[in-house]
Structure 1
Amino acid sequence: MVSPDTTPIQGRRRHAYRLLWRWHFYAGLCCLLPVLWLASTGLIYLFRPQIEPMLERAYAHVTDAPPQPVSAQVRAALAAVPGTVLNAYELPTSPHAAARVLVGKGSQVVRVYVDPASLRVLHVVNEKDRFMRVIFYLHGELKLGSAGSMVVELAASWTIVLLLTGLYLWWPRGGGMAGVLYPRLSRGARVMWRDLHAVTGVWISLFALFLLVSGLPWAKSWGGLLREVRQQYAHATAMPDWTIGSADERARNRQANTPVDEHANMPGMAGMSMPVSAMDLTVLDRALPSVQAQHLAAPVLMAPPSMKNPQWTARSDADDRSRRADLILDPGSGKVVRRTDFSQRPLLDRLIGYGVAVHEGALFPPLNQIVSALTALGLITMVVSACNLWWRRRPKGVLGAPAPRENARYPVAMVIALIVLGIVLPLLGASMLIVLLLERLWLRRWQGARRVLGL
């Protein structure tokens, strides 16, 4: 009579468990540092709405006198940075605050702070040098441009594998909730660290998966493919409200607030507005009351015509994208010609907008910020506990991967799941093929690598 533990089904389950454990182990080796990096920088960026006003408090109240016309404020900003053109004028949230004018030259975007009453220039800073922009670059692209964006996308894709395999490995199988829903802190250091790793993962994995997936539309590879799907599915004529590629492209498009082609990487994209000598800046004075009457969510940017958009525009650039709206302005009267609200955008754009807002902690603050911060802290806890567990268990001279089973086969469901993941996340699929080829063609034939890697 066959024991229940030795049935073919039980044997396949043990093989699947062992194989997934190995995947989890090696994915962890590749992802621990990127996860620590993304969680730490993301944790800082989550609180941008609180940090930026604190850093710019010197410009929150600069005058009590009546402001000069907006066109005069813009001219003062342009004169402070010779050779630039107007990108956008940000409507002040208070009549006492400094005016913020974005000017551009080539690929450079500069933020100029102007006293609206005296027209004195208070501060000039390169947009990419502002503290939260630096964190933005570090989080989204490691300050390596589009190549860094792809590295982050690859790390995020493997982290998805790490979380999914971790959920399978630690899912309760009749052993109670201890070590699954709550840690056992009184059973020694090894059990405590193991439980901290597992329990934290169980509690935060679903939201961490959401944060990872919602961040993919920004990535160079996955975001580009999603953009193509959007064009085919939505048949949309409006430019998407989310951008892809390097942070330079995203920053230029977002701050200039003009619907330029996000695939383009042309010199001068940031300054594609017409020269100031050919621009009637008094349109800003005429349009300001009409824009203010629309009660758009701050920050609100008014932008001049560009190579891609021949009309004056205004737009809410609110972190909560569900509150955003775009305005087309009549240059003669300054009146609003057309308004496009978030609810009028294609369904795919709205879904992505909600996901991006949650990713940035902006959809339902401060609760969204708190939940996301706890998720980031949970990921950091998992990284620290994983390193501690590996350090305690590591055999001498090898990495300590779970030993493979002889003649073990991947279960059909697992193969299908990996294929689906590889299709949905093409960069992950390509990397899995490369890893498989390296293992089969090189690493297994190199005796030192076989021993260290546990092959």
Structure 2
Amino acid sequence: MSNKAQDLYRAVWRWHFYAGLIVIPFLISLAVTGALYLFHDSIDRWWHADLMTVEAREVATVEASAQRDAALAAVDGEAFRYVPPASATQAAEVDVTRPDGSRVAVFVDPYDGEVTGQMPYRGTVMWLVRSLHSLSYFGTTASMVIEIVGGWAILLVLTGLYLWWPRGRRGGVVTVRGRPGKRVFWRDLHAVTGLFVGGIILFLAVTGMPWSTVWGSKVNELANGHNFGYPDGVRVNVPMSEARLAEREATSWSLEQAQLPISDVEGAGAAAIGLDRAVATFDGLGLAPGYAVSLPGGPEGVYTGSVYPDDLSRQRVVHLDQYSGEALLDMNYADYGPLGRGLEWGINVHLGQQYGLANQLILALACAGIVLLCVSSAVMWWKRRPTGRLGVPPAPADTRPLRGVLALLAIGGVLFPLVGASLIVMATVDALVRRRAAGRSAVA
């Protein structure tokens, strides 16, 4: 390897090391929680089986309003959401706001109207895992870290690909040499694992960015900000309120800014249609099983039926006037503009939903590969580290390749502001490390 090539290799290796130093703890957490969340429906129904599961019976179910009333008899408050059973063995869910403002999910046997139990709203074990995965469990500031980690993960993969490039080598390219006691074994294991899961890491990092606090929110506004928060392609020609769909229901990324329409109070001329008729209307419109009904939040409120199934083509949101029962806005995935469809597809694959069990298993294996990557990198570093020192890879003798690498990184920093800020911090730290190393060399 020529001196110039060696300097470039060292510059890339150095920043690959920094990227790993920053993201490895988070990558392990994301991989473990992400792998669990891939199977969230199955895990929740098993973990909370006493609440969510009922015995299927050959009898008609009681009306939705009776199920709601049974929940309100068990928990004092006001119902704001009703989820009809998605299958014959599932309980209905009635979500209630208590007088103190807390929210409770009450589960009701749809065959006899008996309450099977209750838990805090969004209190399932998988909702906790989801909150840990996004770091939203620790607050808004902590969730900003996800954007930084996503950007550094992209950097980690791209620099790792450069370091893996064979350059005439055969060993350690797609095979692993040596035994676990040798550093070369862990180096090869790390490189080969990275080759097979690197592309998936890139995909997960990019498709995870829409959820990020800064970049994701700005892209969401760009995609939906001029249409009452609805994606391009959705026609909105009815009066709209300032209330947001996301305030009432966990919704898709494209609808996080979506506003709710207004029921026509003056033109009503009759009492509200009620929950039973609303559910019958949603069933008649063909909403996919598993849909939820958000109840009107006042005289101008609407009934909102929403469903976000594994099959994107069946994703749908319908708002009903609570007096006339007329569909004020009826939209599905096909109504989204190109940007919305592309982002929603990526997010759905990221969640392991779009292609069924195969989607889940491939991503679960990738998550296991990510953990293996992190472990092998830690072992490899441990075996090569100098005693009593961090073991940062040597800086290139000629700093021009290092400046070139930083220039390329700056492009990503412009696209992702939080990542750019962290790059500036790390570049400053690197400059101080190199200056300190140069001072020690001068003294020696």
Q: TM-score, normalised by structure 1?
A: 0.82
Q: Confirm or deny: 8 A CA contact 1:62 1:98 kept in the other structure.
A: no
Distance 1:152 1:37, change over 3 A: same
Q: SS of 2:401's equivalent? A: coil
> Please, which runs of 5 or more residues in structure 2 have no aligned partner?
233-243, 260-270
User: For 2:30 and 2:439, how far apart are their aligned partners in 1?
Assistant: 31
Corresponding pairs, count? 417
Superposition pairs of residues 130-209 of structure 1, within 5 angstroms: 130-141=124-135, 143-176=137-170, 178-185=171-178, 189-209=182-202
Counterpart-to-counterpart distance in 1, 2:348 and 2:256: 22
1:41-70 Cα deviation digits (max 9, x unpaired): 111111113212222433332463432221
The equivalent residue for 2:123 is: 129
Partner of 1:38: 30
- Structure 2 counterpart of 1:294: 285
Alignment of 1:208-357 (within 5 A): 208-231=201-224, 235-239=226-230, 253-255=248-250, 283-306=274-297, 310-332=301-323, 334=325, 336=327, 338-357=329-348
Backbone CA RMSD of aligned residues? 3.3
Question: Partner residue of 2:96?
Answer: 103
In 1, are the aligned partners of 2:229 and 2:255 still within 8 Å (CA)? no
The alpha carbon displacement at 1:415 in A equals 4.0
Displacement after TM superposition at 1:302 (Å) = 1.2
Q: Which residue of 2 is the match for residue 274 of structure 1?
A: none
Higher mean alpha-carbon deviation, 331-340 vs 32-41, is at 331-340
- For residue 246 of structure 1, what is the aligned residue in structure 2? none
Secondary structure at the aligned position of 1:100 is classed as strand
Aligned with 2:116: secondary structure? strand
Matched-pair contact (CA < 8 Å) for 1:314–1:328: yes
Task: Tell whether the 8 Å contact from 2:317 to 2:330 is kept in structure 1 after alignment.
Answer: yes
Q: How much does 1:255 deviate?
A: 3.8
Inter-CA distance 385–187: structure 2 relative to 1 (3 Å threshold): closer
- Aligned: 1:27 with 2:24: no
Alignment partner, residue 61 of structure 2: 67
Task: State the distance in 1 between where 2:30 and 2:7 align.
Answer: 33
Partner of 2:400, secondary structure, is coil
Per-residue CA distance 1:335-388 (angstroms, 9 max, x = gap): 645421101012211111111111110010111111111111110001111111
Moved more, 318-327 or 209-218: 318-327
Match in the other structure for 1:434: 425
The range that moved more, 359-368 or 102-111, is: 102-111
Structure 1 counterpart of 2:263: none
Q: Could you tell me how far apart the structure 1 residues matched to 2:34 and 2:417 are?
A: 24
Work out the CA distance in 2 between the residues paired with 1:139 and 1:422.
Answer: 23
Shift of residue 154 of structure 1?
1.5
Distance 1:381 1:129 in 2: 31
2:425 partner letter:
I
> Counterparts of 2:255 and 2:43 in 1: how far apart (Å)?
29
Residue 86 of structure 1: CA displacement?
A: 2.5
CA distance in structure 1 between the partners assigned to 2:281 and 2:327 by the alignment: 6
- Specify the alignment match of 1:375 in structure 2: 366
* Contact persistence 1:92–1:98 (CA under 8 A): yes
Q: One-letter code of the match for 1:296? A: L
**Structure 2 residue aligned with 1:12:** 4
Residue identity in the other structure for 1:304: L
* Structure 2 residue identity aligned to 1:194: R
2:240 corresponding residue in structure 1? none
- 8 Å Cα contact 2:105/2:122 also seen in 1: no
Cα distance in 2 for residues equivalent to 1:251 and 1:107: 18
Helix, strand or coil at the partner of 1:254: coil
CA contact (8 A) 2:68 2:94 kept: yes
Q: Could you say what secondary structure the match of 1:67 adopts?
A: coil
Shift of 1:238: 4.2
Look up the SS of the partner of 2:174 in the other structure. Answer: coil
The question of 1:53 aligning with 2:48 is answered no
Unaligned runs of 5+ in 1: 242-248, 265-279
Per-residue deviation, 1:320: 4.1
User: Larger deviation: 21-30 or 142-151?
Assistant: 142-151
Q: CA deviation at 1:437?
A: 3.2
- Is the 8 Å Cα contact of residues 87 and 256 (structure 1) preserved in structure 2? no
Looking at structure 1, the residues matched to 274 and 288 of structure 2 have their Cα atoms a distance apart, in angstroms, of 21
Report how far residue 107 of structure 1 moved: 6.6
Report the equivalent of 1:390: 381
The code of the aligned residue for 2:194 comes to G
Distance 2:393 2:434 in 1: 16
For 1:301, the aligned partner's letter is: A
One-letter identity of the residue aligned with 2:214: S
